[in-house]
């Protein structure tokens, strides 16, 4: 949904081109790198930095990202739950203007005729022919848009006006937390079974919606728009397009916030994570593109009904999922059925993402305090979900959507680019790409020089350079985020940057702490850039000669430099 909303905003192919480039040059290389790290050490995002102890703060920053993003995801799940329950009535409550609507609400555009300087709304009934030059179209809001603002969100005028908690959303937020806690209470053993359903069900719904969508009048126009008939390739010169493409790639693949290494840590040591990385990334992004056909075919029908260009049908932000698409579904026969299917699909997709975010947090806590918490996974999971629920309550007040957008615009974009860059610097430059490749070959077997040539090029040059350029470019052209026409106050923007600082501050803080702990001993300070004695495969049988107890600490920085010269 996020990607297809970006497609609308950035003109289809003008987003697909950088999106696919980001997948090939950044997404797959980083997913492969993170999968290999997690599978090799069988640790979460904090302990995996035993490879480069001075950068262990990067792992803590990843956990902080998960803490904030889990709040964000929990609220999105709450929205999906609310709309799914609201869909269990006929007709759908947003299909027409009701008592909650104001004068701007209308299912169709309001056209007035200016006759002798007097505006008349009933000119057709007076048997008057109105010249097109005298027609005045007044801006209106669709029932689904007003339902979203006035009923679902009960949205206030801005971040300054917090208002009370919206209780139906708070209850849905509580239900979301209960579902997540129940699914993760036994860790990967319980969530793995749930994911068999939540990961496959969306494909069924997308296929159903696609079959239904392509049979509707106007569907072809929607698909033409989607595949690029109205593309504006000059958008490719805008930094925001490339930043959005990179952010969406990282977000959809859970790159740079610890989800991939955490889940990979449960894999068999000799699992072929390279093949898994290619399959997962291609299927994930292929699904996004495939879903676009289902979405835009129905939006094309909606544009046909309204007599509007399809580019004017879709709203920005959350508008695609909670305004435009519900409006389109309300126009279909048996609309409650389609609406329930759609929002249940959103629910399952959101739960999958939330499972990964909470699993990262709990895994790091269990890794940090194994003796105390090892037998208390259920308690840790429940307490984590309770805390996430409580932190999410401000996001279900009347100003909640502004908080959600703030997290999305700052934490879920800038931070991930920076953490991805730090990850590459840490493992490919400081730890050493040749040493890292040897670690991978311990798991998947020896590979040819030609096989590694592409991955060396990506890890050492292409991927970090692209991320750095996008990061600098997007910062230079930075435009303060808004929600629709609502501007954020100065203190709100300051809070957004404060969240970024809070997440990233742990990198220099932990590095400084470790240097101070070395007590000025130059050799100890230098050793912070070398793997610690705890860096090795989790099980003894997988360590081999390179990581046996006698040789685990023998590979020093000088060895790493020697290997780099041979590259």
Binding site residue list for Na(+): 252, 284, 352-353
C-beta atoms surrounding 387 within 10 Å: 15
CB contact set of 439 (below 8 Å; sequence gap of 6+): 36, 40
Q: Which residues pair with 110 in a beta bridge?
A: 138
Decide: residue 494, CB within 10 A, 0-12 exposed, 13-18 middle, 19+ buried. exposed
Judged by DSSP in three states, 560 sits in: helix
What CA–CA distance (Å, rounded) separates 76 from 350?
A: 7
Two tokens, residue 212: 């239904």
For residue 387, CA distances in Å to 67, 196, 353, 504, 507 come to 10, 27, 18, 21, 24
Two tokens, residue 133: 């030059």
Could you tell me which residues are annotated as the binding site? 252, 284, 352-353
DSSP type of residue 27 = I
Two tokens, residue 31: 């997913």
CA atoms within 13 A on the CB side of 317: 20
Helices marked H in 393-505: 400-410, 416-424, 433-444, 449-457, 463-476, 490-504
Nearest to 151 by CA among 85, 218, 71, 196: 85
For residue 432, CA distances in Å to 48, 52, 276 come to 15, 10, 23
Q: What is the CA radius of gyration of the chain?
A: 26
What CA–CA distance (Å, rounded) separates 424 from 461?
A: 10
Q: 145-176 burial, b if ≥16 CB within 10 A, otherwise e?
A: bbbbbbbbbbbbeebeeeeebbebbbebbbbb
Nearest to 447 by CA among 269, 456, 556, 26: 456
Run of H or E including 300: helix 273-306
Nearest to 51 by CA among 567, 559, 527, 540: 527
Dihedral sign, CA of 286, 317, 140, 225? negative
What CA–CA distance (Å, rounded) separates 55 from 259?
A: 18
Strands 482-483 and 135-138: unpaired
Nearest to 144 by CA among 209, 221, 74, 83: 83
Nearest to 246 by CA among 393, 80, 413: 413
Two tokens, residue 144: 């689904």
CA atoms within 13 A on the CB side of 367: 23
């Amino acid at each position: 949904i996020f990607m297809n909303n970006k497609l609308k905003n950035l003109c289809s192919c003008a987003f697909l081109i950088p999106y696919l480039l980001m997948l090939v040059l950044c997404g797959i290389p980083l997913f492969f790198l993170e999968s290999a790290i997690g599978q090799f050490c069988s640790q979460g995002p904090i302990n995996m930095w035993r490879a480069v102890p001075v950068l262990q703060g990067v792992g803590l920053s990843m956990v902080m990202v998960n803490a904030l993003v889990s709040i964000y995801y929990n609220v999105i799940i709450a929205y999906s739950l609310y709309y799914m329950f609201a869909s269990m009535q006929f007709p759908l409550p947003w299909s027409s203007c009701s008592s909650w609507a104001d004068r701007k609400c209308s299912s169709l555009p309001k056209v007035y005729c200016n006759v002798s300087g007097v505006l008349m709304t009933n000119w057709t009934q007076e048997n008057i022919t109105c010249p097109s030059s005298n027609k005045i179209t007044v801006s209106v809001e669709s029932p689904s848009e007003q339902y979203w603002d006035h009923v679902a969100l009960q949205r206030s005028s801005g971040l300054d006006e917090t208002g009370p908690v919206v209780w139906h959303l708070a209850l849905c937020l509580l239900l979301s937390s209960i579902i997540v806690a129940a699914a993760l209470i036994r860790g990967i053993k319980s969530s793995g079974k749930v994911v068999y359903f939540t990961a496959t069900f969306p494909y069924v719904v997308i296929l159903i919606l696609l079959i239904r969508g392509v049979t509707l009048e106007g569907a072809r126009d929607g698909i033409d728009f989607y595949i690029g008939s109205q593309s504006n390739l000059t958008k490719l010169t805008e930094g925001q397009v490339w930043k959005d493409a990179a952010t969406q790639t990282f977000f959809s693949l859970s790159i740079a916030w610890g989800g991939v290494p955490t889940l990979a840590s449960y894999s068999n040591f000799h699992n072929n994570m390279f093949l898994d990385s290619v399959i997962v990334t291609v299927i994930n992004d292929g699904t996004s593109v495939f879903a676009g056909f289902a979405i835009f075919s129905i939006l094309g029908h909606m544009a046909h009904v309204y007599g509007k260009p399809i580019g004017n049908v879709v709203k920005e932000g959350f508008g695609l999922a909670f305004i435009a698409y519900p409006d389109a579904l309300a126009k279909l026969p048996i609309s409650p059925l389609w609406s329930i299917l759609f929002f249940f699909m959103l629910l399952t997709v959101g739960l999958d993402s939330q499972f990964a975010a909470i699993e990262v947090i709990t895994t790091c806590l269990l890794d940090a305090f194994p003796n105390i918490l090892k037998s208390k996974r259920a308690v840790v999971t429940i307490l984590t979900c309770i805390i996430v629920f409580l932190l999410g309550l401000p996001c279900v007040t009347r100003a909640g959507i502004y908080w959600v957008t703030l997290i999305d615009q700052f934490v879920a974009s800038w931070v991930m680019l920076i953490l991805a860059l730090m990850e590459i610097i840490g493992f490919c430059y400081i730890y050493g790409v040749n040493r890292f490749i040897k670690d991978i070959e311990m798991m998947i077997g020896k590979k040819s020089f030609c096989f590694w040539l592409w991955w060396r090029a990506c890890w050492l040059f292409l991927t970090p350079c692209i991320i750095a350029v996008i990061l600098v470019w997007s910062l230079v052209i930075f435009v303060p985020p808004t929600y629709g026409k609502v501007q954020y106050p100065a203190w709100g923007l300051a809070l957004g940057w404060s969240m970024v600082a809070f997440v990233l501050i742990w990198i220099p803080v932990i590095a400084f702490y470790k240097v101070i702990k070395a007590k000025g001993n130059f050799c100890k300070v230098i050793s912070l850039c070398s793997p610690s004695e705890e860096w090795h495969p989790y099980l003894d049988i997988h360590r081999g000669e390179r990581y046996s107890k006698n040789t685990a600490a023998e590979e020093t920085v000088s060895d790493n430099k020697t290997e780099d010269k041979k590259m």
